[in-house]
Chain A
Amino acid sequence: MVVGLSAAERRYLTDGIAQGLRNDGRGLYDFRAFSVELAIIPQANGSARVRLGATDVITSVKAELGRPQASRPSQGRVEINIECSSTAAPQFEGRGGEDLSLELSRALYRSLLCNNGTGPAIDLSALTVIEGKLCWNLFIDGLVLSSDGNLLDVLAIAVKAALSNTGIPKVEVTSAAAAEQEADFEISDNPDDFSGFDVSHVPVIITLTKVGRTYIVDATEEEESQMSSAISIAVNSAGHVCGITKRGGAGLDPSVLLDMISVAKEVSKSLLSTVDAEIMAAESRGDDQM
């Protein structure tokens, strides 16, 4: 980490956390306030920008028609690609951000789609237009503009927001073609004629960062620099865990792990309702402008 903390600052930070006090006055399990903006990229089918403290990310969803994979004829495909802009942090310059970009992309993918693309968060069969022939493929791209810790959690919020903002155009199949032929279809050009996307199953991710013997949520970059280990846990609205990724660091006792999972579940309840409220607020702001 590039964060340069003096020994005294480090001590102040870690001792504070041990006593349940954080530099910015938050409790151990409190998120920073965040804001959501929707539909910021007109060319995309859905997009969102989320700012949490000084962490700032943009995500977009692009839907493209394609052929389903032979092994899964009744499902569309989702790809997630996160990029860490070199302006976000000095260590992202050149190829420095590549490792983190990959780690974030894969962690999001696993939380949303399992590792073979069958995940519970996105209903892939809803993306099918004609079984075995035509389906929508979603390309989710994320850009980290500025980083002040907790990138994965913020990206997960932004992906959820962008998906809620995503409209998929109606497709009219003009000829029911025979087995061997390509199907004819027309994409509706009426801008109001599209279907929305169900995001109620899309989880939020809560990263618990262990500093000393205590763990905190939504760690800032300074706090992350003092972590001994961290674990990211995805929880959906049903309260089910749908992804865990240990983010490296020292080993953890299994009982501590289970405790962390239950903390994540607890935190997820309030976070999910805040996320939903923020998305709703952003939607109504958008409607006002129109």
Chain B
Amino acid sequence: MAASRVSSYSLESQRVSLARGSSALISPEGVREDGRSPHECRPAFLQTGAVNAAAGSAYAEFGQTKVIVSVFGPRESKKAQAYSDIGRLNCNVSFATFAGSVRGKAGQSTEEKEYSQMLYKGLEGAVALHTFPKTTVDVFALILQSGGGDLPVVLSCASLALADAGIVMYDLVSAISLSRLDTNLLLDATLGEEINQDGSLMLACMASRNEVTQLLLTGEWSQANLSEGLKLCLDACTKLAGLMRSTLKESTSNIED
């Protein structure tokens, strides 16, 4: 290659402009950059059946975050895998090269591997694995645009896609994240808020069973803060679960028409 890359001109400055004090991200009156109040979620759009080639699929858009999840199977497990009397769940998350402000590179990044693991752990408690013995269900997610809270959006979208594929679950998994900036707890944080957070909480749960399937917490938290954060996330997950349920209902009533 004759040409060599010099720089990705404005990227450094973009990163710098994202890193700033919490005062810029939330006004003294408690209004966030995008006009939301601290405990308000981003407008969400959910749709099942986004990919026809898949057994089940869903598209989710939370503010600037956009993901597609396809589910394939249950289908034959890879030959190398030993016999198993319960089904396998195989999860994979990848980012499109244009998902972020910096162009992504080919090949699986650490972040993608970690997200894949997290997706698996958030779903395994919800999927009735014994209903598809010896076989594998593949859950593949593509993050088209990364705008904060990518992992919880992938999780919610994946459980919707599993439902669309007719995989038996104990309950839908809804997930939400929360960023802490100084003393503010900001629900369903954007990318800008996430970069500047000093603590974070991500919760995935089966709302109607009142069970937490995944919990991630970073930063130093006092007991009071922690309880409040958990409660905020649980409430938001319950609301989200309602939205997911109505999305599913809509899609089935469309088929009947």
Contact = CB atoms under 8 A, between A and B. Distances in A.
A-B complex is real = yes
Interface of A: 69-72, 99, 102-103, 106, 110-111, 114-116, 118-120, 229, 231, 236, 238, 240-254, 257-258, 261
B226 A71 contact: no
B212 A106 contact: no
Contacts of B226: 241, 261
Given A71-B16, A116-B195, A251-B206, A102 B117 contact: yes
Nearest to A102: B113
A241 B213 contact: no
B19 A114 contact: no
Given A115-B218, A242-B219, A251 B209 contact: yes
Interface in B11-32: 12, 15-16, 18-19
B125 A250 contact: yes
Interface stretch (B50-58, B62-70, B197-205, B244-252): B197-205
Contacts of B222: 240
A255 B173 CA distance: 18
A114 B199 contact: yes
Given A114-B219, A116-B194, A244-B217, A254 B117 contact: no
Contact of A257 (B126, B200, B215): B215
B218 A243 contact: yes
Contacts of B16: 70-71
Nearest to B171: A251
B217 to A, nearest CB: 4
Where chain A touches its partner, the secondary structure class is mixed
A246 B215 contact: yes
Interface in B62-85: none
B234 A254 contact: yes
B110 interface: yes
B213 A251 contact: yes
Interface in B178-193: none
Contacts of B215: 231, 244-246, 257
Given A251-B125, A251-B209, A114 B221 contact: no
Interface of B: 12, 15-16, 18-19, 110, 113-114, 117, 120-121, 124-126, 170, 194-195, 197-200, 205-206, 209-223, 226-227, 230, 234
Given A120-B219, A241-B226, A257-B215, 5 more contacts: A102-B117, A103-B117, A242-B220, A251-B205, A253-B212
Contacts of B234: 254
Contacts of B220: 119-120, 236, 238, 240-242
B121 A71 contact: no
A72 B124 CA distance: 37
B238 to A, nearest CB: 11
Contacts of A246: 121, 212-216
Contacts of A119: 218-220
Contacts of B218: 110-111, 114-115, 119, 242-243
Nearest to B180: A114
27 contacts: A70-B15, A71-B15, A71-B16, A71-B18, A72-B19, A99-B113, A106-B110, A118-B198, A120-B220, A229-B125, A240-B220, A240-B222, A241-B221, A242-B218, A243-B218, A245-B217, A249-B121, A249-B124, A249-B125, A251-B126, A251-B170, A251-B205, A251-B211, A251-B213, A254-B212, A257-B215, A257-B230
A236 B19 CA distance: 27
B235 to A, nearest CB: 11
A119 B199 CA distance: 8
A4 to B, nearest CB: 13
A273 B187 CA distance: 36
A251 B222 CA distance: 24
A251 B237 CA distance: 14
B93 to A, nearest CB: 13
B19 A71 contact: yes
Contact of B200 (A70, A114, A241, A261): A114
Contacts of A243: 217-219
B174 to A, nearest CB: 12
Nearest to B111: A106
B129 to A, nearest CB: 11
List the 8 closest pairs (A to B, CB-CB), nearest first. Answer: A251-B211, A244-B217, A248-B121, A120-B220, A114-B218, A71-B15, A251-B125, A250-B125
Given A72-B19, A229-B125, A244-B215, A106 B114 contact: yes
B45 to A, nearest CB: 26
Nearest to A110: B218
Given A253-B211, A261-B226, A110 B216 contact: yes
Contact of B121 (A115, A236, A238, A247): A247
B122 to A, nearest CB: 8
A120 B117 CA distance: 25
Contacts of B199: 114
A147 to B, nearest CB: 18
